[in-house]
Structure 1
Amino acid sequence: MTEACGTTPRIFLDTEFDPRDMSVSGLLSIGVTDDVGRDYYAINADANLESLLDHTFVVEHVLPHLPVIVNRGATDASTTGARGLLRRWGRRLRRWWRRGRTIEWDTSHPHYRYVRPAEQIAADLEQYFHAPTAPELIAYFGAQDICRLHSLWGSNWAEMPAGVPRKFTDLRVLADQLGISELPEQQGTAHRALDDARYNREAHDYLLRQKAQLVPADDLARQLHQHLPVISGAWESLTCQQRSDYRVAARKLLAQYDIRARREEV
């Protein structure tokens, strides 16, 4: 892995998945990229495709970016009505709605070359994560993403290679800490794992640029306590809840106003 001297390498992760299946068969695709643009993308050949037929979001937003063919049965003619009934009538209608529909791999699709068994994906990622310095893993609302990554080793940390990150940094948390409510609009293809991972890198770069200009929420919280001493005493003497209240107020101010650090003239 290429990295700058004295810096921690960063790897940006995204996955697409069936949220109802936490096993490796629920993983559909995975994309990672790093600070220097070294990409890895794979589609899970061991994914349970048939189980996706009644998951509207996955069918409409994820499958169009995978090398699959959805064979639609005659019952799809009244899809909207069927979905409404599906929500009300549950499993029996779900089986009826799936009747005549199948999903199969499209071997002629240009992205079919990314399809590989989960075991191979795990081996590839073991090599990808191998580095002298442990990388920082970064994702956006990434709790599911790191779980899906770990599912490649059965979510068993004892069997997981040492180089695979056990924790991650969440871009949404970083943004909240900076008081930033909106991130830049994604230019790539949403819900394609590699494009989403690349966007995570762009969003992280954006947050770093904002952090260099904005007052950190914790610093503003301390200033609020110093100049508006609703609670007496030094910052260090406050309880955790009292400090948290000041931080919440600071984040609200940062989200509403453009508060920047004053540069001292030399």
Structure 2
Amino acid sequence: MNDTQTETEQQPELPDWLVKAEEEAAARQKAARQAERAAAQRHADLVNEHLKELGIEPIEPARVDDAEFFTVLRPAFLAPGDYQADEHPVWASYDTNRGVTVNVGPTDRPYATEYAANLTSVKDVVDARHAGPAAQPPRPVQELDWRAEAIRRVRPMRSGRTDGDAVSQALDGMTAVMLSLAPNGRPPVPTGTEVDLDCEFLPGDLSPSGLVSLALNAGPGRTLYLVNADMDTLAVRSKQFMRAEVWPCLPLTLDGELDRSHPDVQSYDEIRRRVEKFFAGLGNDVTLWVYCGAQDVIRLHTLWGNDWQVMPGSVPQWADDLARLRREAGGVKLPPHTGRRHHALEDTEHQRQARAYLRGLIG
């Protein structure tokens, strides 16, 4: 008999009063959970009935999602978005004060949508898709300690984490570092080489097969565009958006398959080598630019396993974002995209044009 067995056998039985109290607490928790689910189901039914009355057939109806510790209403998904075209994903949700509402928010976070308007007609859906969330009253300006914010954001990676969330937080931390060193909290206009990055990828897949294409654009004559020969083509074509918007932009054969003989189509390892060579030829004073592009930077760094000790020093560890300039310019619409959206290289060219336009507004 070991010590563990002895200790286990010596544990006293729970007294009757505690057993009864625990049972009562469990019963209350079960009843609360049932009431919570009933309310969520009632709200989902109200959303779906209202959509039917308006003649709106959702891509996904409202429903109830049961997690381990809570139950929540999952809004009805009404329309996809394209942030480069200033089009927001649209949802229909329920608010106890407003009733059925039109919300906007990312497709991978349906529970984090923002109110846009009360849903009274199809026009509300179209307006929300193009205008985004309703304007919020201005909040008091609070001076942020950028140095402390940078340390807080980078801490997960310094503790050894290399998952997507940790990398994304680290990128935010690098932005905070830049802001902490800038006068009046605004980064100075870079004086070196500005490189625009854009990637197409399978959401949530950080493996080599999840990268579809990658483009780097440092100006005329200094571009790199590569398509991943090792991508999961079946997964890409199984997603409606990828099949309709991304796949046609890739080098294809006459029968619609990926043209693996095309010079732009290279293995994942070769993409890593060419990206390293591209940055090595630009010198040390490089600023990387993206548009709502934390995920793009993660895909770039994933070429080296998101390990900065392995990644070449010439590859930027952080990126500035066109979305910041757009916010400084008052949230204006970007110039029209004259190329093919979701063709990575043509998207980087649009980023460069949009950046020049926004800087002209900001002064």
Taking structure 1 as the reference length, the TM-score comes to 0.61
**Is the counterpart of residue 121 in structure 1 residue 271 in structure 2?**
yes
Count of matched residue positions in the alignment of Structure 1 and Structure 2: 173
Q: Does structure 1 conserve the Cα–Cα contact (< 8 Å) formed by 2:288 and 2:318?
A: yes
Q: Does structure 2 conserve the Cα–Cα contact (< 8 Å) formed by 1:14 and 1:30?
A: yes
**Is the counterpart of residue 58 in structure 1 residue 239 in structure 2?**
no
1:65-86 per-residue CA deviation (whole Å, 9 max, x = no partner) reads: 1124697xxxxxxxxxxxxxxx
Aligned to 2:328, which of 155, 177, 183? 177
1:103-182 aligned at under 5 Å gives the runs 104-107=257-260, 112-130=262-280, 131-182=282-333
- Residue identity opposite 2:287 in structure 1: E
Relative contact order (C-alpha < 8 Å, sep 6+): which is higher? 1
Q: Does structure 2 conserve the Cα–Cα contact (< 8 Å) formed by 1:24 and 1:154?
A: no
Point out the more displaced range, 30-39 or 148-157: 30-39
1:35-78 per-residue CA deviation (whole Å, 9 max, x = no partner) reads: 4451110001111111223211000000001124697xxxxxxx
Q: In the alignment, which residue of structure 2 is the partner of 1:243?
A: none
- Residue identity opposite 1:21 in structure 2: D
Structure 2 alignment gaps of length 5 or more = 1-189
1:107 deviates by 4.6
Q: In the alignment, which residue of structure 2 is the partner of 1:24?
A: 208
1:32 deviates by 1.0
- Residue identity opposite 1:56 in structure 2: Q
Give the SS at the match of 1:199.
helix
Runs of 4+, deviation exceeding 6 Å: none
Q: Does structure 2 conserve the Cα–Cα contact (< 8 Å) formed by 1:52 and 1:59?
A: yes
Q: In the alignment, which residue of structure 2 is the partner of 1:228?
A: none
Taking structure 2 as the reference length, the TM-score comes to 0.45
The 2-side partners of 1:20 and 1:49 are apart by: 15
Kindly name which structure, 1 or 2, has the bigger radius of gyration based on alpha carbons: 2
Give the SS at the match of 1:113.
coil
- Residue identity opposite 1:124 in structure 2: R
Q: In the alignment, which residue of structure 2 is the partner of 1:97?
A: none
- Residue identity opposite 1:106 in structure 2: D
Q: Does structure 2 conserve the Cα–Cα contact (< 8 Å) formed by 1:16 and 1:62?
A: yes
- Residue identity opposite 2:296 in structure 1: D
The 1-side partners of 2:231 and 2:253 are apart by: 14
Structure 1 alignment gaps of length 5 or more = 1-5, 72-102, 213-266
- Residue identity opposite 2:205 in structure 1: D
